[in-house]
Structure 1
Amino acid sequence: MISGDVIRGTIDLLVLDSVLDEPSYGYAISKRIESRVDGRYEIKETTLNSAMRRLERAGVLESYKDTSAAGRPRTYYRIAEAGREFYWQRRAEWLATVEIVSQFIREEGSSR
């Protein structure tokens, strides 16, 4: 299981990627994230909700009310137009971060 501390700075990227192709609601977003990583990371409901509120305030995520297939009212989230650009910027930033950090990750038994 991946530590929440390690992934904390990338939650926005995970959430935005989860709604990049189609709108979704909170529970489905959390299950999509968990499924994509084969259960190695479980996003907490409070973490997801605060990320979605933060992204809405930033104008990169939009929410709207609709009913589910079962007829229950739900809040759905979709990426805003500004959110697409934000997603691609965060993606580039993450890839650069991985490249930098990988320079400091040693193979087991390596002394460099």
Structure 2
Amino acid sequence: MPNTDRITTVDRTEILKRFLVTLVCLIFFEVTSFMIQLSVLFQYGYLLIAKKRSEPLRNFTNNLSQYGYRIMRYATLNENLRPFPFNQFPGDSECEPPVKQVQFK
């Protein structure tokens, strides 16, 4: 099995800077995760009461989940683009669109 580890030529201070940015991003990830959990509870409560879903909330949580995905890719060293607040928040064009019809089977 070939060795796929790559030795980096980056200075240790650059590694430390990325690590500190990653720590900040992971704090944002925890806040994002909590916001998604609250949104899920609200969405189901709204669905039970109004018998329809909140489209603005669905779009917002779709963007939040894309943001969480970007944070995890950055934190796990699979992406170099820094996530929000160091870059722009993911927009609708960067996210998969929500499904048209939600099924409860």
TM-score greater than 0.5 by the shorter chain: no
Structure 1 or 2, whichever has the larger Rg, is 2
TM-score, structure 2 normalization? 0.35
| Bigger share in strand | 1
| Bigger share in helix | 2
TM-score, structure 1 normalization? 0.33
